[in-house]
Amino acid sequence: MVQGLSLKNRYTVDLAGIMRLYETNYAKLLPLLPKSDEVGDCCVYRVFGHEYSITITESTRYTTVIELLQHDEVSLPVYMHPHLIIRLYHDARVAEVCSAQQISRLKPRYDYPNMRMHQQDEKHQVNRFLGDWLAYCLKNGISKRSVC
């Protein structure tokens, strides 16, 4: 027992819940992707004064890797701007955040506390952030240009 936590209270991954989130994110991402699946193609969106880009960084038969990045000239430090690497699995029709901000590989579960102070469900939270961002973009976004 660690500081009053029992094994019954230990965090476990909700696999069905995270798979639903991956499927929903995939469906939301499809209309925002560049028209072609060529590496380097990108779309830029303007959402209430903020500029975001989605760039294809890798493309294979069954997967596409994209980079989602905020480009604003705002007074915020660069490390606070959203920066996600997302892998789309076309055969399974799911999208998973592979890295976010300074986290190069997201684990499904983290022990807590840990050296980097990640939340136990950090991967789920980052994918939920992506879902919220996609819903926001689809509702309020304006396509600035289709290909960079």
Q: What is the pLDDT of residues 5-30, one digit of tens each?
A: 445 566 676 789 889 999 999 999 99
What residues of the chain score a pLDDT lower than 50?
1-6, 146-148
Question: Can you give the pTM of this predicted structure?
Answer: 0.78
| Sheet strands side by side (includes 42-47) | 94-100, 83-89, 63-70, 50-59, 42-47, 142-145
Tokens of 75: 């007074």
- Mean pLDDT, all residues of the chain: 80
CA dist., res. 21 & res. 77, Å (int): 29
